[in-house]
Amino acid sequence: MRCCLQHKSVRLCLFALLVLFGLSACLSAPQTRLLQEQQPARLSSRELLADVGFFPQEAYQCGPAALATVLDYSQQQVTADELVSQVYIPARQGSLQIEMLATARRYSRLPYVLPASLESVLQEVAAGLPVLVMQNLGLSRWPQWHYAVVVGFDLTDGTLTLRSGTRRDYVMPMAVFERTWARAAHWAVVILPPGQMPVDNNQTRYFQMLADAEPSLREESVTAAWRAGVQRWPASDLMSLGLSNHLYGQALVQDAASVLEQLLAVDTSSAAAHNNLAWLMLELGQTEEAMRLAREAVTLDAGFKQTLADIQSKISSGR
């Protein structure tokens, strides 16, 4: 994809397009209209993350510049130049989203893709997290892809503030932003340091993002991310099983068992937690508890009968 052209003629064309977008904004920016008509109680009227750094882009290199901006804010020292070879694709004169996410993981940060909600973007900014976004500043037939970072908003004026291109504080009408953002499939992501959580409260989305990132992250970062998930959702099978499996992979069997015990103290209905804890108890030499847990797992879900049979076999054979 081609992004961030710097030629004067192209800038003039883009300006003209933005004017057209502005004229049609009231008809094409439903999320903006709703936010201004019914401001969410949990959002203040305005926010600005003034201390977010700025990396002015060179031609076509909005991807490295925008990614460097959010990585730097997450306390990961990096420059846009360092990222060029990792995310910039010369043949496409731009950067792919998949490479942007993969590079964030290589710096041991968890990229969390937000839902297609402008309110969600504003909530993250209000919580102190700049949001990396993708826009199409052109048209569907002639796309002009562009990465920028949302660092502020003003609901009264109906504007967003972005680190964009060569402009540190680019104030854009919110309706125009929504239009250009929608043309890029509403792609937005926050870059999380180990253990920090997004405002978005979707445990399935968080689980998937973390599971995808786990092979690329440092071990301590993965542990911190799973523990943060368990703290946010203490009754979640997904979070507790994920953390338990991660700890078991580090040969921390007792710690892995403790996580599942804490889950079952909150919610006794998880067949998978009973099943996994049965195996851990067997490994820890607690055979009676292993059998009890295995039987309870089968009571909750007959699909775990094989575990019960295997544990009975191992106990009988003394293995």
Q: How far apart are alpha carbons 96 and 87 in whole angstroms?
A: 7
* Assigned token pair, 66: 């925008």
Q: Give yes or no: residues 225 and 246 share one domain.
A: yes
Against a cut of 0.95, is the pTM above it?
no
Per-residue pLDDT of the chain (319 residues; tens, 9 = 90+): 555 533 333 344 444 445 444 444 445 799 999 998 888 988 999 999 999 999 987 666 788 999 999 999 999 989 888 888 788 666 555 577 888 999 999 999 999 999 999 999 999 999 999 999 999 998 777 888 899 999 999 999 999 999 998 999 999 999 999 999 999 999 999 999 989 999 999 999 999 999 999 999 999 999 999 999 999 999 999 999 999 999 999 999 999 999 999 999 999 999 999 999 999 999 999 999 999 999 999 999 999 999 999 999 988 887 6
Q: Where are the alpha helices (DSSP H) in the chain?
A: 8-23, 25-28, 30-37, 62-73, 80-87, 97-106, 118-126, 174-182, 203-213, 219-232, 237-249, 253-266, 271-283, 287-300, 305-317
Torsional sign, CA 191, 195, 199, 201: positive
Pair (132, 273) in one structural domain: no
Same domain, 35 and 99: yes
| CATH code where residue 108 lies | 3.90.70.10
CATH code assigned at 211: 1.25.40.10
Last residue of a domain, one of 192, 226, 259: 192
Number of domains in the chain: 2
Sign for the CA dihedral angle at 303, 304, 309, 314 comes to: positive
Considering the domain architecture, whether residues 53 and 132 belong to the same structural domain is answered as yes
Single residue among 168, 192, 216 that ends a domain in this structure: 192
Residue among 170, 175, 172 nearest 24 (CA) = 175
8 Å CB contact between 317 and 307: no
CA distances from 306 to 235, 278, 286 (A): 26, 12, 19
Q: Say whether both 188 and 250 belong to one domain.
A: no
Domain co-membership, 104 together with 168: yes
Alpha-carbon distances of 165 from 62, 66, 70, 255, rounded to whole Å: 6, 9, 14, 47
Please check whether residues 184 and 43 belong to one and the same domain.
Answer: yes
Q: Reduced to 3 states, what is the DSSP secondary structure of residue 115?
A: coil
The answer on 150 and 219 residing in a single domain is: no
Q: Give the domain extent around 62.
A: 8-192
